[in-house]
């Protein structure tokens, strides 16, 4: 089993040592960093420190140096955000610090977006994506959008705080048959169900497939709400989008 001392990057080692107190989480995070490169550790460390200029530079260097965009996303950016999330939950940091981390995350995603979004193939389907009403979290949704575009989907991104009416309007206007909803707050998760109900009321539910995701969302919750599919991450988002749109091989 990987141990904390095996992680070469001092910032990451200190962050885990000081802030990740639950043993199960500590083991999971140490495992996450144990087999990844020092370039990815540097990116993650600067996400945690909220250093957007550094993340910008390091991500650009990694991509130009030939690192795989998915590796940079998972082992650098998302790995850094995993520690940020725990620190926020445990009140070691607060909204202003997390905003700085989110800004750093976006600085890195800027270099990954053109690669993951460039599919060059005929659109395999049209997806309407949005974070639900009341919810301003968009990092995970944006990663899903990038990956969907890269897989050949045409994506209309409605952004954050998206009301049921906004989703419905977009579906009607763009004749889309696939909708993806993201929620990061337990208080906004029910708005996914409300959006599904609004599609039923508008007599559109049978014309579309609905997929949902976001950290607190579970498969059970998705089933209970009447969604067609649940995805735990951006890779799963693409897989289920393909299945739901009939593009799965």
Find the shortest distance in angstroms from Cβ 105 to ligand B12.
7
Evaluate the CA torsion angle 62, 63, 65, 66 in order and state its sign: positive
Q: Residue 126's beta-bridge partner residues?
A: 154
Find the shortest distance in angstroms from Cβ 5 to ligand B12.
26
CB closer to ligand B12 out of 54 and 133: 133
Find the shortest distance in angstroms from Cβ 100 to ligand B12.
9
Find the shortest distance in angstroms from Cβ 129 to ligand B12.
7
Q: Which tokens sit at 154?
A: 């045409």
CB closer to ligand B12 out of 66 and 188: 188
Count the Cβ atoms, other than its own, within 10 Å of residue 249: 3
The SS3 call for residue 175 is coil
Find the shortest distance in angstroms from Cβ 189 to ligand B12.
8
Contact 155, 149 (CB under 8 A): yes
CB closer to ligand B12 out of 7 and 102: 102
Residues that bind ligand B12 (CB under 6 A): 78, 81, 84-85, 88-89, 95, 98-99, 102, 134-141, 143-144, 180-182, 184-187, 211-216, 231, 233-234, 237
Buried b (16+ CB within 10 A) or exposed e, 223-241: eebebbbbbeebebbbbbb
Rg of the chain over all Cα atoms, to the nearest angstrom? 19
CB closer to ligand B12 out of 7 and 108: 108
What is the Cα–Cα distance from 22 to 17, expressed in whole angstroms? Answer: 11
CB closer to ligand B12 out of 39 and 83: 83
């Amino acid at each position: 089993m990987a141990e904390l001392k095996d992680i070469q990057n001092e910032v990451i080692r200190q962050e885990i040592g000081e802030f990740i107190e639950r043993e199960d989480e500590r083991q999971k995070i140490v495992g996450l960093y144990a087999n990844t490169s020092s370039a990815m550790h540097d990116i993650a460390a600067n996400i945690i420190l909220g250093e957007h200029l550094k993340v910008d530079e390091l991500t650009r260097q990694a991509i130009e140096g030939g690192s795989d965009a998915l590796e940079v996303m998972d082992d650098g950016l998302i790995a850094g955000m995993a520690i940020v999330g725990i620190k926020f939950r445990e009140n070691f940091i607060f909204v202003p610090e997390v905003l700085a981390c989110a800004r750093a995350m976006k600085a890195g995603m800027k270099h990954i977006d053109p690669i993951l979004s460039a599919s060059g193939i005929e659109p395999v389907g049209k997806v309407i994506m949005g974070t639900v009403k009341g919810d301003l979290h968009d990092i995970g949704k944006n990663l899903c959008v990038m990956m969907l575009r890269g897989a050949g989907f045409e994506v209309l991104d409605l952004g954050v705080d998206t009301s049921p009416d906004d989703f419905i309007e977009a579906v009607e206007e763009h004749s889309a048959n696939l909708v993806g909803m993201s929620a990061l707050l337990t208080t906004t998760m029910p708005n996914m169900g409300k959006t599904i109900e609004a599609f039923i009321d508008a007599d559109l539910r049978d014309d579309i497939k609905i997929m949902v995701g976001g950290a607190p969302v579970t498969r059970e919750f998705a089933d209970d709400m009447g969604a067609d599919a649940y995805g735990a991450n951006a890779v799963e988002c693409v897989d289920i989008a393909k299945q739901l749109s009939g593009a799965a091989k």
